[in-house]
Amino acid sequence: MKRKIDFFKLLAILIMTFLLILSFAGGCAKPTTPAVPPPAEEKKDDAPPPETKVELPKVKGRIGGIHPVEGPYTAALKKFAESVAKKTNNGLTFDVYPASQLGGARELIESTQSGALEGTYVASAFYVPFMPTIAIPQLPYLFPSRDITYEVLIEGDLGKQILASLEAVNLKGVGFFEGGFQQLTANFPVRHPDDLQGKKIRVMENPVLIAQYQALGATPTPISFAELYTALQQGVVDGQENPLGGIYDMKLYEVQKYITLSDHAFLGIALAFNKQWYDNLPAEYQKAMAEAAYEEALALRKVIEEMEVKNMLPAIMNAGLEVIELTPEQSKAFAEKAGPAAENALRGMMDPAGNELLDKVKKEIDKLR
């Protein structure tokens, strides 16, 4: 009887335990909810926002020169203008006025300084009264060859430093172009410095050139390029110096009897602009101008070298001029008189920075010889 009671007690305990377990499990169970998908991850765009294209202004300028309308020098200037227009998608364009249409060399430089004209394209010697340092490349017997001339003036940094000197007089030089190497023409033969004694030789308005020809015993006479042909024709002067290109373009061989191939100085043509006008240009336009000046300077060199052989010298010889080629000893005689006189005159005009720059140029030339 007692075992029976124990059995029922045990059974009751088991049932109650089971019910308690069910009750606990039911109270702890979490209500089921429909699964909600996580929010879609926003797609990150790493690309920068599109840049707003700045429309550059349309700018037009004028460049004045003194070279004839037809000829390699004006052609090079026109190609410069065309190249700049192309590089800037016609944003920067130039009208070119050669043949002293806007004035002589001095007037062109002064107009560019004042801002009445945007740019000028004349031989570096014409800039000397404004900034003497620009005359460094034209010192007689400074450059021994065309290759070294280009290495220093066009390819190297020294040419840029010489052009930078113009900034002090409100001009921005963007490039040197080749005029060629100077030769002497006259109505008398020139083989020795004594041959120039007392003769009137046309020079550019340049104290350095005046000192050079005074040292050779001549009477240097400044005359504008536009008036040179008539001055020779009428006997106002007895001779002149110019590269073959200048002699050819101006047909000076028609009014001269002799040409001495002296190669005594490099004639660089400096392309310069009003500094304030230039500084206000977009950087893209300034870059296009520098690139175009460099490219066209190299192109002009090839044109000049080819034309000297195929066109210029043959035309001069066919006109009946007697061609005189100097011996090394004769060239040395000219160099010993003209070189130091011209250099001393220039050094006396330049400031310490200019004299230091000339020293650097001479040192670089010696290194390249």
Which of the residues in the chain have pLDDT under 50?
1-5, 10-11, 19-36
Q: What is the pLDDT of residue 22?
A: 45
Dihedral angle, C-alpha 184, 188, 194, 200, nearest 10 °: -70
Q: What is the pLDDT of residue 294?
A: 97
The whole-chain average pLDDT of the chain stands at 90
* Alpha carbon 241 to its chain's center: 25
Q: What is the pLDDT of residue 44?
A: 52
SS3 state of residue 135: helix
Q: What is the pLDDT of residue 54?
A: 78
Query: What are the residue ranges spanned by the domains of the chain?
Result: 59-368
Residue pair 84/289 in contact (Cβ under 8 Å)? The answer is yes
Q: Which of these, 302, 282, 342, 359, lies nearest to 154 by C-alpha position?
A: 302
What is the Cα–Cα distance from 47 to 243, expressed in whole angstroms?
Answer: 59
Here the tokens at position 187 are 């109505």
Residue pair 300/166 in contact (Cβ under 8 Å)? The answer is no
Q: What is the pLDDT of residue 9?
A: 56
Q: What is the pLDDT of residue 20?
A: 44
Residue partners of 251: CB distance under 8 A and separation at least 6 = 229
Can you state the angle between helices 352-368 and 157-164, rounded to 10 degrees? Answer: 160
Q: What is the pLDDT of residue 29?
A: 44
Burial of 333 (0-12, 13-18, 19+ CB in 10 A): middle
Dihedral angle, C-alpha 66, 70, 74, 80, nearest 10 °: 150
Give 264-300 pLDDT, tens digit per residue: 999 999 999 999 999 999 999 999 999 999 999 999 9
Residue with tokens 């005046």: 210
CATH number of the structural domain 59-368: 3.40.190.170
Q: What is the pLDDT of residue 8?
A: 52
